[in-house]
Structures are given as structure tokens and as C-alpha cells.
Structure 1
């Protein structure tokens, strides 16, 4: 379904500004959105591509972010940091579908977390995540429907609340 790749450390080359933004553990929200890390690097050998998925591999506390994924919105702007994985979809899976599919199965990743104060999941845990995946055409339709629902929810959340309505 996807090619897995671990991020790498950029500790000595992080800046508050730069050409490429780091995707780190704080870059992925609880709902799977991509947040700005505020950390950048000037040079890199490899950047993320549009529709790449990035996954949280470590989390503290209850592990609610463990295994969460976000979609990369554009090419050549983001760089993967350590403890975050890249999942690059192959031709058999629609990235948007995989985004919703993985985020809907958080129980699996949370149950696989190892550690005491910090939970971690391994490459093997991610690669062993298997379930029924519909044919490509159905994935595409499901992904579109889920994206429209997310957009509709966002619009409703922006509406001002009035107790008279």
C-alpha cells in the first residue's frame, strides 16, 4: 500500500526560519491536520511530496497522537524529522483514503505503543497494520466524501453560536 521511511535527526541544523519546514512530533494534530512546527532547515537531501502521509511514532501521556497521520499539502516544502515516519502511497491506494483509514484505526496503534512515560511504535507495527482496503475507485470516492464532510464540519464550527437558533 505504501512505502515506509523513518525521519532523521536535524538537531544541529534547526533554525527559526529557512527554506524547508521540519515535520516533527508537534506537527500533527489530534484530528490529523498538519500544524506548523516553527522549525526549519536550510539544506536537505530529500523533501516530502504532496499527498505524502506523515505519522507520529512517539507520544507521551496516553498516546492519543500515536499513529496519527497528516497529509503533506505541497511538494518540496517540508522535511521529515526523527520519530515521524513517511508513508508514500503506491498506485494501489489513494492517499486521502489512507489518511482517513489510518486515523480511524487509532486503537490499533495505541495498543501497540511500547514504553512507560513515552510510547513508541516501530516500523514493524506500522507495516503489520493490515485490514480490508476497497478497490482504488471506491477508495477515491470514500476519500472525497470524507474530505467534503471535514470541510462541512469546519464551516459549521466557524458559524457564530446564537442561543435563539
Structure 2
């Protein structure tokens, strides 16, 4: 590796005790060897189901830089008789075409498709190298070449500059910091996904399924059959009022729901009170059920449920359990929508008021836990993003 050129640059945030300027080198200089990849013929059975992991772009998960789970394996014969190469463990696999910008540190020997450049024999701290290359790729993603398949050539990639401390100890500290931060993000993401699975299971088991009159799981001391009603019999379904896009602001006191999952803008007046259930009327998200804890403006492609004869949180949870079926009621191809009459005829099973209260409160607490966990994940991701900008040049 040639000695990098010195730069009068230092990151905004550094560990105590490090003051030397960082240095610049080409990406191709940080590795002893580089490898491309290839795809063995799928029609040759003896090439497949061997012991060698064969990695595709889809196996590299965005931001999961150290956790790759192989889905396909090839044989030694495939390596000998195809363009793919056997790459040593502790190499860095970088996606250069489909999914350009993703990368992962590979803790095992592997082969890849032609959509990769792999670096082996890393000459600098390996974890620092992963995060330094990751940051560089984020800058390059918007400038990749190609039309139907965006990508970057291996030659272009190897010529890119990366900045690094000349002190190996500083490289190690930075690499360890980001690796530990990623572990924390993965841990909280796993908790978030687990809570989502728990909610999905509860939605399936705490409400009647397949035209049954009772759910599979119930709270203690409840045994009566649930009563069947149509949605239109237990509430008024009100279509919102269209608002001119020119009247919307990026910031305003009240958000506007107009057929999507997220607000389409903001205004300084409202037409719907807080704690109201809404169902998207039109667009790709039609049928999406939302509980609105704030006053808002219900737009022309949005329904709200008013004058409920059930507990609000119970009905919201019931409709969330049926959301996929509600979405399946859409009609039209260009701009799909759900007709009000169709929505009115949705069958709703209702227990007594006390059981409604318990079910609604249970899902409300569960939703709060999920939201809290999601915010933790987002906060950690924002911390990581900030540190990448301030601790790496």
C-alpha cells in the first residue's frame, strides 16, 4: 500500500488523545486483493446445493453490515467451471449493480454473483474500513451510472477516495464504536419486530375468525357470544372535504389526511375531532385504518367514523385486524377506491361493553409499546447518522 497523501483535515468529533490530521488513499489501496463474481449455470445440477455460500445482492440487508445469511450454496465444481471466485473470509463484499451501495463484512469464505466487488486482505482496521467505505458509498449512491440497472464499475469504485486516521488505535476505536452501535440498533429492531409479531397474533386470536361468534382467546370471565352487525349500523361513515393543494403548508397546526397513510400537508383549521378512526377512501393505500389522536382535516379521499355505538379503541383494533380484507374491497384500476356502501356492509362482531373496553385498552397499551420501541430504533439510527458525519471525513 502506497503511503497516503496527508490532508489538513480532521473530523468534527474525535476520541481523546488523537490530534494528527487524517490521510487520504484510494479504495483499491486498502486491500491486498480484489475479486469480482459470477453466476454458475443454473441448469447444471452439480453446480448447486454444495457447501460454499453464494451471495446475491438480495442477501445483503441495508445497514446490516455484519450479518449476512446465505440463501444459496454452490459446489467446488461450480467455482472451477464458472466465473465466480472463492473469496477468503474476513473480506468486504460491496454491491456494485442491483442494490448498489450495500456492503457487508463476510466472516466466512464465499462466492458472489457478478453484482459484487470484494476486497480481501484488508490493510487497515477491518471495522473502520467497513464504516468508512459505507459512508463513501452513501455519497456515491445518487451519482451511479446506468438506466435500467443502476451501478458503478469496479474501476470507478477502486479509484474512490477514503479518509482515515494514520493511527491504527484511532481506527480501532471508531470501528468498535459503530459496531457496538449497530448491535444496539439490531437489538432494539429485533424487539420492535417481536412486538409487531405479538400484535399480529393477538389480532388474529382476540377477534372471531371465519364467521365464528367467539374469538379463540378471551379475557377471563367473558363467555357470551359476540353479536354480528354491519359497520354502517354502529357508526356514521362520513367522507371528508376536498381541499386545494395550494392551501396546504409544510408546517401548520393540523394535518390533512387525503387517501394516504401519512399526512399530505398541513393547514391551520380542522374538520374532525381528536380520537377519531379514519379509513382511506382512495389511492394505493385505500382501506388503511388509522386512529387519529389529534384534531385534523379529513380530505376528499378519506372516510371518518362518527357517532360510534361501540368503544372507539375496540372498533379501531377490530378494523385493524380486518385491514387486509378491507383493502381487498377496492375497485378501479387507475385510482382505486372503496365505495361507501361497500364499507357500510363490512361485518363487525361485537362483545359486551366491558369486554370491548378490555380489548381496546390491551391493544392501546401494545401500540404504545410498539411506538416507543420504534422511536428508540429511529433515535439510534439518527445518532449513528450524525456520528458518521462527524466522526468520519
Shorter-normalised TM-score: what interval? 0.7 to 0.9
- The corresponding residue for 2:273 is 49
Verify: 1:3 aligned to 2:236, yes or no: yes
Verify: 1:129 aligned to 2:328, yes or no: no
- The corresponding residue for 1:14 is 247
Measure the CA separation in 1 of the matches of 2:263 and 2:242.
18
Verify: 1:37 aligned to 2:264, yes or no: yes
- The corresponding residue for 2:313 is 96
Q: Secondary structure at the match of 1:126?
A: helix
Greater gyration radius: 2
* 1:114 CA displacement: 0.5
Q: What is the correspondence of 1:11-160 to structure 2 with a 5 Å cutoff?
A: 11=244, 14-16=247-249, 17-18=251-252, 20-26=254-260, 28=261, 35-40=262-267, 42=268, 47-60=271-284, 65-74=285-294, 77-90=295-308, 92-157=309-374, 158=376
Provide closer, same or farther for how the CA distance between residues 43 and 141 of structure 1 changes in structure 2, counting only shifts above 3 A: closer
- The corresponding residue for 1:31 is none
Q: Is the 8 A contact 1:52 1:89 kept in 2?
A: no
Flag the structure with higher helix content. Answer: 2
Stretches (4+) displaced over 6 A = none
- The corresponding residue for 2:80 is none
- What root-mean-square deviation, in Å, do the aligned CA atoms of Structure 1 and Structure 2 show? 2.4
* 1:133 CA displacement: 1.3
Measure the CA separation in 2 of the matches of 1:2 and 1:25.
20
Measure the CA separation in 2 of the matches of 1:15 and 1:110.
27
* 1:126 CA displacement: 1.0
Measure the CA separation in 1 of the matches of 2:367 and 2:253.
30
Measure the CA separation in 2 of the matches of 1:154 and 1:9.
30
Give the alignment's TM-score, normalised by structure 2: 0.34
Q: Is the 8 A contact 1:66 1:106 kept in 2?
A: no
Provide closer, same or farther for how the CA distance between residues 39 and 153 of structure 1 changes in structure 2, counting only shifts above 3 A: closer
Measure the CA separation in 2 of the matches of 1:23 and 1:121.
16
Q: Which runs of 5+ in 1 are unaligned?
A: 29-34
Provide closer, same or farther for how the CA distance between residues 154 and 12 of structure 1 changes in structure 2, counting only shifts above 3 A: closer
Provide closer, same or farther for how the CA distance between residues 12 and 120 of structure 1 changes in structure 2, counting only shifts above 3 A: closer
Deviating more after overlay: 6-15 vs 118-127: 6-15
Q: Which runs of 5+ in 2 are unaligned?
A: 1-233, 382-393
Give the alignment's TM-score, normalised by structure 1: 0.74
Q: Is the 8 A contact 1:67 1:103 kept in 2?
A: no
Provide closer, same or farther for how the CA distance between residues 43 and 107 of structure 1 changes in structure 2, counting only shifts above 3 A: closer
